[in-house]
Structure 1
Amino acid sequence: MKIGIANDVPMAAEALRRVVASTQEHEVLWIARTGLEAVRFCAEQRPDLVLMDLNMPELDGVEATRRIMDESPCAILVVTGRPQDSVNQVFRALGAGALDVTATPMLAGKADGAAELLHKIKTMDKLIRHSGGNQSMQPRIRERPEPEPKIAGLKSLVAIGASTGGPLAIVRILSGWKPPPGCAIVVVQHIDANFAGHFARWLGEQLPIPVRAIEHGDMLTPGEVLVAKSNDHLVLDEKLQLSYDPNPRDYAYRPSVDVFFRCVAQHWDGEAVGVLLTGMGRDGAEGLLAMRQAGKHTIAQDQASSAVYGMPRAAAEIDAAASILPLDKIGNCLRNITGGSR
């Protein structure tokens, strides 16, 4: 992989350069010392992956990510000193189009920090190749202004899948729609398990609805937003119990939206809505199609409002989505289907 490094701290940038150069599989294409340099370098020599720090002069990592995804889109991994101390910035960067987050090796406080970063880069490489490479990422279009289920009180289920750009998209949908009392909401967001708990807490701070991370063995419950928190895949069984399964182990997307959507199609007898949001790759498209074929309502985000029009595009190509809508319309659609209010 050709990798760009955006970090204004010389010691940190050198540590990242050494980690990347330690294997013949990768090469450092350039090192940017400011956010503006990173934007310019991506336009001049687009890398396969950018290791993006959050705190930089001229443009911070969030705005630099946003500009790169608008002008020269490529895969971006946020690499910063202590991600847990910058939760809001991290999720703003993920909302702007970054794929994932990890700690800078020299500041991680772990002897295996370099190995962890290389493992993360390997995962990014697999995801990029599985998705058709960065050439499949186009500059984003500017957004224009049944039977009773088995748990008492639970009448409907909304299953949401998202990847790149997902955190902010999820907030925009759920902050504009108050679900009815009998509705359960499950979110499967591509995010590393080490940061999934922070994601659930951050989401809870943004929404008027209770949010909690899903523990292995939990049951679906109405009136809450339930968030997958493992690198293993979230599954739903015939008893409506939630659990985590490592299989398929070779699947690049973890946790997989496809796996959970297929479980909903197979085991949920009541009213359900599948919502597939912005993201790189094709995860969720086949699962959304399974939900539609099972008689469930299906929605995909449109291109204009997507940070990366990969997953929703894949759903549209196979006619998996009954409705293709901008973010601002998805909440209204959910209200029309399941009830609830603004």
Structure 2
Amino acid sequence: MRVGIVNDLRIVAEMLRRTVAETEGFSVAWVAYDGEHAEMLHRADPADIVLMDLVMPGMDGADTTAKIMSIKPCAILVVTATVTGNRELVFRAMGNGALDAVTTPDLKDAASVAEFRRKLISVSRLVGQKKNGPPAKPTAPVHAPPISHRHGKVPVIGIGASTGGPQALATILRRLPAGFPAAIVIVQHLDCQFVPGLQRWLSQECALPIHLAKENEPVREGHVYLAETRDHLIISRGVDGYPHLHYTTEPEDSPYRPSADVFLNSLAALRHTDCVGVLLTGMGRDGAEGLLALRRNGAPTFAQDQASSVVFGMPRAALDMGAVEEHSSLSAIADGILRFVQGIAKKPKATL
């Protein structure tokens, strides 16, 4: 796997070069010391993965990410000394196409280097799956019956997102009013150490309260829950009759942690609950099978359109599988979710 390195500090760039070169299966494609140089090098010799600094003279890392993604999309991993201090830049870079972020490794700290390599290998698995994995087998569209009103206290909107997801999520959530009559559960591909920052950032962007999902937490209408750990988030009905959130390590070999497929499949298995599935921009194909399971159960399913996606991989995989009822812009997805929950409110209450 060929890696490009962008960092204005030559000592850090050299440290990253050595770490990559000493990691089995990786080689250094090029090293750039500013955004303009990175743009030129990637145009001439596209890398599979780019390690992106954030604070640089001239173009910052967020703008450089946008340039590189416009030349030839690739997996971009933000490498920064401080995530909390650069929170706005981190999420702007992710909105422009960065896949994830990691703290700059310290060669004197074995745990720090191990975590960096773990993240690099994790990103490479997504790239390898995209390049070498079999394409999704096209299937005939699923002509699902209209969803009927089911006995369930809390409608649930399940959303999966990856590359470019933070900005896409903010765009949808901004259009949903306070007191929104459904729970929203989000699985965003993001290292767990950065999820609290995403929670704070999204809280500033919309009227709905944003929570980090806790083990065995019941979901409530008008609240948004973010998968918080490296384990997979699932949903099931508790003894109180309400849907509850749980974490599971299975499947352990999934390249996506947390996985949108795992959550959406658990949502499809949640009987007597009105639900919606949404798949947003992202590299790979995570979420497509879970979205198909929801559609086969009669739930409305939405996927972001190519024009507004930073990377069209996940929505395209869902389209190829016939899992998508509506293929839409972000504003249209938000409007479709609103129409669905308004339709539930107008239906008579069902009884067991």
Q: Same fold (TM over 0.5)?
A: yes
Q: In angstroms, what is the RMSD of aligned CA positions?
A: 1.8
**1:1-342 mapped onto 2 (5 Å cutoff):** 1-106=1-106, 110-132=109-131, 146-149=149-152, 151=153, 154=154, 156-178=155-177, 181-239=180-238, 240-339=243-342
* Residues 179 and 338, structure 1, Cα contact 8 Å, conserved in 2: no
Map Cα deviations across residues 123-165 of structure 1 (whole Å, 9 max, x no partner).
111111112269x9xxxxxxxxx1221x4xx2x2111110000
Is 19-28 or 42-51 further displaced after alignment? 19-28
Per the TM alignment, residue 201 of structure 1 is displaced from its structure 2 partner at its CA by 1.6
- Post-superposition offset of 1:219: 1.0
Partner of 2:145: none
In structure 2, what is the Cα distance between the partners aligned to 1:211 and 1:313?
28
Question: How many positions carry a matched residue from both structures?
Answer: 325
Partner Cα distance (1:98, 1:181) in 2 = 30
SS at match of 2:5: strand
- Alpha-carbon contact 1:277-1:312 (below 8 Å) kept: yes
Please name the residue that 2:348 is paired with.
Answer: none
Tell me how far apart the structure 2 counterparts of residues 96 and 317 of structure 1 sit (CA, whole Å): 25
| Partner Cα distance (1:65, 1:173) in 2 | 23
Residues 266-305 of structure 1 show CA distances to partners (whole Å, capped at 9, x for unaligned) of: 1142321111000000000000000001111100011000
Instruction: Name the CA distance, whole Å, in 2 between partners of 1:39 and 1:269.
Output: 52
The answer to whether the 8 A contact 1:12-1:106 is kept is no
Contact 1:179–1:335 under 8 Å retained in 2:
no
What is the CA distance between 1:179 and its match in structure 2?
Answer: 6.3
Structure 1 range deviating more: 220-229 or 305-314: 220-229
Conservation of the 8 A alpha-carbon contact between 1:51 and 1:79: yes
Task: State the SS of the aligned residue for 2:125.
Answer: helix
Structure 1: stretches of 5+ with no match in the other structure: 137-145
Per-residue CA distance 1:55-87 (angstroms, 9 max, x = gap): 112211000101111121111000011112111
Unaligned runs of 5+ residues in structure 2 are 136-148, 344-352
Identity of aligned residues (%): 42
Q: TM-score, normalised by structure 1?
A: 0.91
Q: Which runs of 4+ in 1 moved over 6 A?
A: none
Q: TM-score, normalised by structure 2?
A: 0.89
Asked if structure 2 preserves the Cα contact closer than 8 Å seen for 1:201 and 1:212, the reply is: no
What is the alpha-carbon distance in structure 2 between the residues aligned to residue 268 and residue 59 of structure 1?
Answer: 50
2:350 corresponds in structure 1 to none
